[in-house]
Amino acid sequence: MLRNDKRLIERAEQVVPGGVYGHMSTYLMPDGVPQYYTKSKGTYLWDADGNKYFDCLSAYGPNLLGYGNAQVQDAIRNQLEHCDTMSGPSPLMVDLAEAMVDMIDHANWAMFCKNGTDATSIATTIARAKTGRSKIVVGRGIYHGCLPWSTPSMEGVQPADRMNLIYFDVTDMDSFTDAVRQAGDDLAGVIVTPYRHEVFGDQHFFPQEMAQLIRKSCDEKEAVLILDEVRTGFRLSVGSAWSEHGVQPDISCWGKMLGNGQPISAVLGTDEVKQAASSIYVTGSFWFSAVPMAAAIETLRQVREGSYFKQIMAYGRRLRAGLEDRARAFGFELSQTGPVTMPQILFREDPDFRIAYRFCQLLAQNGVLFSPYHNMFMNAGMTDEAIDGVLETSEKVFAELKDTRGNIPAIPDRVTEKLNKRKPLLGLGQKQKLA
Ligand code: PMP
């Protein structure tokens, strides 16, 4: 029973518009997934009623090394003793910029902010400052943040907020070429994520040719290529994601995992766009706070050591293979897509997501937090034993799903309604045929 959680939701409805807003709202989750948490450790969360969960959502990305990672906690505590938010940055800002420039191939400079949305918005502003042009080519339905130019909802958004965006279908190279042609000589830049990781659908890797075509078009047009690594950062590689395609962006955006949960994001760029970056005016009251920077420096140190990467790869493989076997044994076919470190787990022959929703609902009732529509994130606070525990739980859940297969309830109406409203904006590709 989630008595305290329910009470908190009721109280929040009185004093917080929408209760919890945005991606952390459980509005789109199956009933029974808790909204509020009171404790985190490693890969575990405790809800407001004291129930413990294996959390595969990893705070939707920020939990890279494990909640409460000992060395990151030490760095935070130590920095808190000295200073945090002041009338100027601490020297850590320079240390952190140097660390990022050393680690990321294309980076000659770094700017810091708080959220991924800050980073992507700054990046597009720099592209416009650099080129003196207005159009940005952007993948349809790709999430780059929650400001009017990027939010997946049109409530409160004016067409003028988006009139300088030209959308392309990220699975279709011709549509990219068309978008660039449409921009003519007013193309400031292209913003793209390393692969397609949108909600309610299978994830798509872009072929190498696509990355190369985007780079080539930006070069020809003298436009700025922005790679949005806010979600993928350090989960695809210990560096820039498109290095494996031989493609370097002019600007990249980082956030989420950078401080292992501390609020900090970054924009990195090449020398060619440095002057433009220094010409724009961007700032925030908390952007120079020292504690998140101390956390980021320690996170990057562990990232450079690289052992976390082997771990999250191994945990991801173990989970994917184990779920595949168990699903099959009970007569289900999963559609597991995306990198193993950022798994998207849907069911085949589940056009209205009802099996996925029931699966995640039963998992939550048994102490495992999975998402039926959003990619999840592996973290280094997981262990083989913990993954095996999830697999054991999944067996029980698959068994119940099998027994009740003909009677699985439809997903809540609120989810269908919201989805249908957002469908055109989400650019849903695969599994969007909701009634
Ligand atoms: N870009 C991408 C690719 C993202 O996944 C996100 C967040 N999910 C953002 C930008 C925005 O980041 P934030 O929520 O920190 O503003």
On whether ipTM exceeds 0.85, the answer is yes
372 CB less than 6 Å from ligand 1? no
CB atoms within 10 A of CB 143: 21
- pLDDT tens string 64-101: 999 999 999 999 999 999 999 999 999 999 999 999 99
Over residues 321-349, mean pLDDT: 98
Nearest atom in ligand 1 to the alpha carbon of residue 265 is 15
232 CB less than 6 Å from ligand 1? no
Q: Is residue 148's pLDDT more than 50?
A: yes
34 CB less than 6 Å from ligand 1? no
394 CB less than 6 Å from ligand 1? no
CA of 416 relative to ligand 1 center, distance in Å: 23
Which DSSP state fits 206?
A: P
Average pLDDT over the chain, rounded to whole? Answer: 95
pLDDT in the model for residue 422: 73
pLDDT in the model for residue 424: 60
CA of 20 relative to ligand 1 center, distance in Å: 17
By alpha-carbon position, which residue is closest to atom 5 of ligand 1?
231
Contacts of 144 (CB under 8 A, 6+ apart): 116, 117, 120, 138, 150, 191, 193, 228, 230
Alpha helical stretches, state H, 16-91:
70-82
CA of 161 relative to ligand 1 center, distance in Å: 19
Percent of the chain with pLDDT over 70: 97
Burial 9-32 (b: 16+ CB within 10 A, else e): beeeeeeeeebbeeeeebebbbee
30 CB less than 6 Å from ligand 1? no
Q: Is residue 427's pLDDT more than 60?
A: no
- pLDDT tens string 183-217: 999 999 999 999 999 999 999 999 999 999 999 99
116 CB less than 6 Å from ligand 1? yes
Q: Is residue 267's pLDDT more than 60?
A: yes
Nearest atom in ligand 1 to the alpha carbon of residue 145 is 11
Tell me if the pTM is above 0.90. Answer: yes
Contacts of 132 (CB under 8 A, 6+ apart): none
133 CB less than 6 Å from ligand 1? no
**Structure tokens of 404?**
């009740």
Contact 254, 106 (CB under 8 A): no
CA of 243 relative to ligand 1 center, distance in Å: 21
pLDDT in the model for residue 433: 36
pLDDT confidence of 45, banded at 50, 70, 90? Answer: very high
117 CB less than 6 Å from ligand 1? yes
